[in-house]
Structure 1
C-alpha cells in the first residue's frame, strides 16, 4: 500500500480550493489543475485568505503555501500523484470523462476520489479501468475548516481503498464518515436538503422571513446540533428515560402533517423573496466579510466541540 505523499486536486472552484488549503496546511505538496482562465491566481488568493484561519487552528510541520504548483495538463497533474481529488462541476458525463482521464494517466496504485455531493460512486467508476481504487470523498464548505468528509465506496471499490482513505483523512485532521450504502445525496446533504425544503415552504407561505428562519436555527437547533446532533438532542429531551420516553411521548406527533417534504415550486416570486431576504439580512457586509466572520466563528466553535468530542473519537468504523 502506497504512502500518500503527493496530492493532486483537479478542479479549483470553491471546494477544490478548500481541499488545496487544507492539504497545504497539513504539510503536503499539492499539484492543481484547472483549465479555466485565471484559475491559478484565484486559487492562490483563496489559499491566502484561508491561511489566517488555518494558522489559528494550527499548521502542521512544513505547511507552506508555496508547496502548491499548477500543472498545464491533466496528464502532468496526476502522473506522480498518490492521491487525486476531483472537483469538477456536478454534471455526470463531465465527471465521468474527467475521472476516466485521471484513471488513464495516473499510477495504478493511486487513489482517485470525487467530491460529488450527489452522484453515487458506482455510476462514476463504471467506465474506469481500475475502479477498485475509486471512492467518493464528499467534504463540506469551508473544506479547510470543517472536518467531516463522507467516504462512500462503489460496487467495485476495494475495502483496502476505503481503509487507506480513512487513515489518510484522519492524518489530515478530518472526520471520515464511512457510508456503507450508496444513496443519492449521501447522508449529510439529504438532511440539510430536508431542512432547506421546509425553510423554502415557510418563506413561500409567508410564515417566516429568511432572517427569522436563520434566527430560529442559530439560537435554537443549531447551538445544540453543533455538540450532539438531532438524536442525542432528542435523547436528552426524554428526561431520565431518554429516547424511550421521548418516542412514547412525542412519537405520535410524527403523524401530524407539520412538514412538507416535497420542495415548493421555485417561482420567480419565491426566488426574489429569498434573495431579497438574504441581502437585507446581510446588510452592508460583503460576502468576503461574512466569510471572514464565519471562519473566525468556526475556529472558536471547533475548539469548543473538540473539548467535548475529542479528535481521537473516530467515525471511520468498518
Structure 2
C-alpha cells in the first residue's frame, strides 16, 4: 500500500547533506506517463529512509498510482520500494520538506506559472525546482516567482526511467549553482544531463528528432517510400550507428584522417543538394490521411513493453562495450 500523508516535518537540509545521510526527499507533481516514469526511476535509486512524495489533484490518485506504477518496472517492484511512496493531500504538504521538486504537469503556461508561485511559498529555500516541460521555457514559467534563479527545465527523453538523456535548460536568471547541483544529482545516478546553453523552441533532442520526422513525412508523402520501409531504413542504418556515435562523430569518422573537414571537402556539394531539396511539409498540408493510414496499417497498436525492453537491453550492451574499452 502507498502511504497517504497530510503532514510532515519541515526539513531545510541541503540536498548534498540529505544524500550523504540517505534521507533524500523527492516530490513529484503530476502522475501522467512522464511523472510515473520518473517515479519508477527515483524508486529504483532510493536508499534507506529516503522518501518519494507524489502530488496530483486527481481524486483517485492513490489507487491510480498503485495500479499503474508497476508498468514502469522490468520486474514487479518490491513492497518495500512501493512503501517509499507518500501520497500528499495538498501541494503545501507535498513540498514543505522536499529537497527536489519535479513537476510533470500539463503543457499549459498559466498552470505552470501558478504552480511555481505556490511552490515557492511553501518549499525549502534550497530545494531544487525542476520542470519536465517539453517546450515551455523556464523564463516564462518563472514569471510569478520572486526568486527566478531557482527554476530549471529538466527535459527527459521518453521514457525517462529508461532513457539516459536529460536536457537542463536554464533561463538567463537560473543560477549556476542550481545547474551544477542538478548535473551532480543525475550524473551520480548514471544519467546523462546536458546543459543546454540557450533557451530555444523544443530544446535540442526534439528539434533533431522532428527534423528527421519532417523529412520522413515528406518522403512518404512524395511516394518515395512507405512508412514501413522508411522505418526499416532508419532501423537498419543510422539507428544503430547513432546509438554508438552521434552525427558529428559519425561524419568526422567518415572523413577519414581529415575528419569532418575532409568529409565536407569530399561530398559537401552533394550534402548541399540534399539540404536544398529538403522537405517543407507543414501540419495541415494534406499529407496526414496518407501517412496516418499507412502507420495504422503497418503497426496498429505498438507494443510499448517490447520497445522499452529492447531499448533497455541495447543501452545495457552499449554500456558493457564502453566499459571494456576504458
TM-score (normalised: structure 1): 0.87
Structure 1 unpaired stretches of 5+? 314-318
Q: 116-125 vs 142-151, which deviates more?
A: 116-125
Query: How much does 1:42 deviate?
Result: 3.4
Provide structure 2 residue ranges, at least 5 long, that are not aligned to the other structure.
1-13, 19-23
In 2, Cα distance between equivalents of 1:222 and 1:37 = 42
Q: CA deviation at 1:232?
A: 1.1
Q: How many residues align?
A: 301
Matched, 1:47 2:69: yes
Match of 2:247 in 1: 230
RMSD over aligned Cα atoms: 2.3
Give the whole-Å Cα distance in 1 for the aligned partners of 2:52 and 2:217: 39
The Cα of 1:310 is off from its aligned counterpart by 5.0
Q: In the alignment, does 2:38 pair up with 1:25?
A: no
Give the one of 199, 206, 211 matched to 2:223.
Answer: 206
Distance 1:199 1:310, change over 3 A: same
CA shift at 1:253, angstroms?
Answer: 2.4
Kindly indicate whether residue 272 of structure 2 is the aligned counterpart of residue 255 of structure 1. yes
Residue 319 of structure 2 aligns with which residue?
306
- Hey, what's the Cα distance between the residues in 1 that align with 2:61 and 2:227? 33
What is the alpha-carbon distance in structure 1 between the residues aligned to residue 178 and residue 304 of structure 2? 34
Given that residues 92 and 124 in structure 1 are in contact (C-alpha distance below 8 angstroms), is that contact kept between their aligned partners in structure 2?
Answer: yes
Partner Cα distance (2:135, 2:193) in 1? 17
For residues 26-65 of structure 1, what are the alpha-carbon distances to aligned partners after superposition, in whole Å with 9 as ceiling and x for unaligned? 115211111124444333333212222698xxx9xx9712
Q: Which residue of 2 aligns with 1:14?
A: 33
Q: 2:58 aligns with which of 14, 36, 41?
A: 36
Supply the distance in 2 between the matched residues of 1:133 and 1:73 (Cα, whole angstroms): 22
| Contact 1:200 1:264 (8 Å CA) reproduced | no
* Counterpart contact for 1:104–1:129, Cα < 8 Å: no
1:65 to 50, 73, 82: 82
Q: Do the aligned partners of 1:112 and 1:133 also contact (CA within 8 Å) in 2?
A: yes
1:215 to 2:237 alignment = no
Q: Could you tell me how far apart the structure 1 residues matched to 2:61 and 2:224 are?
A: 42
Whether the aligned pair in 1 keeps the contact of 2:253 and 2:260 (CA below 8 Å) is: yes
Deviation of the 1:305 alpha carbon: 1.6
Partner of 2:133: 116
Q: CA deviation at 1:307?
A: 2.7
CA deviations over 1:146-175 (Å, ceiling 9, x no partner): 111011211221111111111111122211
Q: Of residues 112, 124, 127 in structure 2, which corresponds to 1:107? A: 124
Contact map agreement 2:70 2:76 (CA 8 A) in 1: no
Question: Whole-Å Cα distance in 2 between the matches of residues 125 and 63 of structure 1?
Answer: 37
Moved more, 213-222 or 38-47: 38-47
Please give the per-residue CA displacement for 1:165-207, whole angstroms capped at 9, x wherever unaligned: 1111112221110111221211111111111111222222222
Matching residue of 1:264: 282
TM-score, length of structure 2 as denominator length:
0.85
- 1:22 match: secondary structure: helix
Q: Give me the whole-angstrom Cα distance separating, in 2, the residues matched to 1:307 and 1:63.
A: 29
Q: Distance in 1 between matches of 2:64 and 2:193?
A: 28
- Residue 197 in structure 1 maps to residue 214 in structure 2: yes
